[in-house]
């Protein structure tokens, strides 16, 4: 995956707030999942991007409490330009994982 893919995913992750997380869920729900995936992949149908977005959600939901996830989203929504380390680490790890899977199968 290219640096462009990383940037696209990182920027799209900041759009998660648009999925309605601030309006109510108190835990990871199907709506939170779908909102993150929709914001992350947007119109990109590249299977690698979609898989990295799914992996990023899975990683964050396993490693962060929902309250920590919401705080991260809030900072991004308020215009924080630097990605939180946990988010950047999750994205990088998922890019490596997906790239490694593609390399071993192709």
pLDDT in tens, 49-88: 889 989 999 999 999 999 998 888 888 878 888 888 988 8
Residue ranges per structural domain of the chain: 3-105
DSSP structure string for 65-78: -HHHHHHHHHHHHT
Q: How confident is the model at residue 13 (pLDDT cuts 50, 70, 90)?
A: low
Is the full-model pTM beyond 0.85? no
* Tokens (6 digits) for 62: 């396993």
What is the percent of the chain with per-residue pLDDT over 90, rounded to a whole number? 21
- Residue 104, pLDDT > 80, answer no
Query: Average per-residue pLDDT in the chain?
Result: 77
What is the percent of the chain with per-residue pLDDT over 70, rounded to a whole number? 72
For residues 69-88, b (16+ Cβ closer than 10 Å) or e, as one string?
Answer: bbebbeebeeeeeebbeebe
HSE (side-chain half, CA atoms, 13 Å) at 49? 23
* Tokens (6 digits) for 69: 């996830």
- Residue 105, pLDDT > 80, answer no
């Amino acid at each position: 995956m290219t640096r462009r893919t990383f940037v696209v995913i990182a920027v799209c992750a900041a759009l998660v707030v648009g999925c309605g997380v601030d309006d109510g869920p108190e835990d990871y729900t199907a709506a939170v999942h779908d909102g993150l995936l929709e914001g992350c992949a947007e119109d990109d149908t590249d299977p690698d991007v979609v898989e990295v977005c799914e992996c990023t959600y899975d990683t964050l939901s396993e490693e962060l409490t929902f309250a920590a996830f919401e705080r991260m989203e809030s900072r991004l929504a308020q215009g924080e330009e630097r990605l939180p380390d946990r988010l950047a680490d999750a994205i990088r790890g998922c890019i490596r994982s997906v790239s490694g899977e593609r390399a071993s199968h192709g």
